[in-house]
Structure 1
Amino acid sequence: MNAAECTRLGAYLSKLLGSPTVSVVSKSADEANVLVDGKRVAELLRDEDEGELSYSISLAIPSAPGAKKNAPVDGPERARLQAALRTTLHAADLDVRERPRKTDSAEVYVHGEFVGTVSADEDEGAVLTMSILDIDLEGEE
């Protein structure tokens, strides 16, 4: 990803999360790292399909000590994930909410706006997945 693209993505994430220390640094033409306070917290992938540009962010959250693999994302686990994500992303207004009829994942909101899902992952504990559409970046410099 080029510098302008990383700057736009960093500005968007900083504004969305309410965290001035978020930045995006290119790794290759289609990959970048999301940094908070200069520390890598997530991977960002660029995808262009039939002229539509989007980005996918993947952030792993380690399992709680003693947690069973593929345990449901229940109330206590949502609270733990919310605290971990708020701390990692410096996003005080981030909420992790129950999904209707689903126990293997939860929804993530910032300022009441849906931004992604957290799903149980056998190897990594839980993974926050966020998608950003190119149109979301309009007006970001």
Structure 2
Amino acid sequence: MTAPTATARYEGQLRTEATHVASGTSIQTDAPVDNHGRGEAFSPTDLVGTALGTCILTTMAIVAERHQLDLKGSTMQVKKIMSQDAPRRIVQFDVDLQLPASLSESDRALLERVAHTCPVALSLNPEIRQEVRFSYQ
């Protein structure tokens, strides 16, 4: 049996501490304010959105390196939208990417295609809408 990717411990008061097994890095999660929590750390659903945005950036960077393109300093913002009805669930992510203005039109087209093929984007339930927008600064 292979080692787990992560472990987590419930700390009480709707907070967990998760540890990445290979690196020992840890993060805390907290229930959001609108669901009985204090909102003092990422909620589990915040992490899903963060995973989507960072996966898009990472996948684009892998392709950019292959093409000798520099994406250093590129940024991402993600907004999570939850359902208003039961059951409580994620219904949409809005991902805004800011990339270098120096990218050519063909490089932009390549990276924009790649953005929609990251493993997290492909793994999310198709009912979760993914709005990905690009700006070049």
TM-score, normalising length: structure 1: 0.30
Structure having the larger proportion of residues in helix? 2
Q: Highest relative contact order (Cα 8 Å, sep 6+), 1 or 2?
A: 1
TM-score, normalising length: structure 2: 0.31
Instruction: Tell me which structure has the larger Cα radius of gyration.
Output: 2
